[in-house]
Amino acid sequence: MKRDEKYYKGCILGGAIGDALGHPIELKKLKVIKATYGSNGITNLTLNDKGVAEITDDTQMTLFTAEGILRANCKKGRCYIPAVVYNAYLRWYFTQRNIDTSGYDECTYNSYLLKYDELYEDRGAGNTCLTSLCKEEMGSIRDPINNSKGCGGVMRVAPIGLMYDKKEAFRLGCDCAALTHGHPSGYISGGMLSCIISCIIEGMEIDEAIEHAISFARDMDGHCECVEIVEKAVKLSENDLVDTDAIRMLGEGWVGEDALAIAIYSSLKYKNDFKKALICSVNHDGDSDSTGAICGNILGAYLGSDNIPKEWIDVIELKELLENISMDLLTGYEESEEWFEKYPKN
């Protein structure tokens, strides 16, 4: 078992670091990346004028996912967990659009996360997430809100794998991704990532964790795209192709199954070297911050925070918040006034 703070911190910090590493090169073609950063592409974090490596909407939404499941946990089974997470996503939407909250229950917009100015920054929020939450209508697998399979569903759900066992993590990962992404590949990829994280925390090797995620996915309607490309990623990780060529065969990461596959390829190829895995996961033509974030979640949970370069941890934006929420996910629930102030039961 890896129910230890270094693995929880590794998962959350690792995701944020992968997000920040890929952030400057998102939308850029590989040839442009190499022309700018050298033949190996981007290999280090880019710092702003405050000496900080900035996160994107991927990490912003991951934090709100964590807050949502922690608030649901305080209700001790007396709630529909995706609905509590949906309210957390409404809080994130508030940070991006400053909507009128006068018609809502006061608790919906009561969150300690709303005290952090960095979470109000527009860091390239996904259009599907924004338009879905704008509708104020909760999507579900049974009643999809759209037909989107963008990677915005999968890139935010890693905390679910830290809180629940593998079967429940898969189900909840699907349900929470389906709040905004209605295509099967948009939510099954979320279930698979949550399951992989949960299995790693149980003590499994990455390849074994992937097999469990595939087995759960096969029980879902519309699973073929996700399962086929994840299996392809596993096979590609076992050959001698140049990484950029292998990743090109998996896509660009804009959709859920591709983003998950690129992260899985990189995690398997360099499973004992966090830095090499992240560099591999972001240097391609597509959605570099999301593929980096997912890879960082997986390998951070597997290797732990003590195997993430300290110089990267030290400069990541919102480091203290990321570490604190990691510890709260490890604790899960605490009978204290301070806890309920952070994660209200009502």
Specify binding-site residues.
56-58, 287, 289-290
Residue 106: DSSP 8-state: G
Who's near 92: CB < 8 A, 6+ residues apart? Answer: 60, 61, 64, 119, 133
Tokens of 8: 């929880």
DSSP codes joined into one string, 191-237: HHHHHHHHHHHHT--HHHHHHHHHHHHTTSTT-HHHHHHHHHHHHHT
Who's near 248: CB < 8 A, 6+ residues apart? Answer: 284, 285
Binding residues for Mg(2+): 56-58, 287, 289-290
User: Distance (Å, rounded) from C-alpha 87 to C-alpha 97?
Assistant: 15
Who's near 190: CB < 8 A, 6+ residues apart? Answer: 153, 154, 157, 173, 174, 176, 177, 178, 181, 256
In terms of Cα–Cα distance, which of 8, 1, 134 is closest to 62?
8
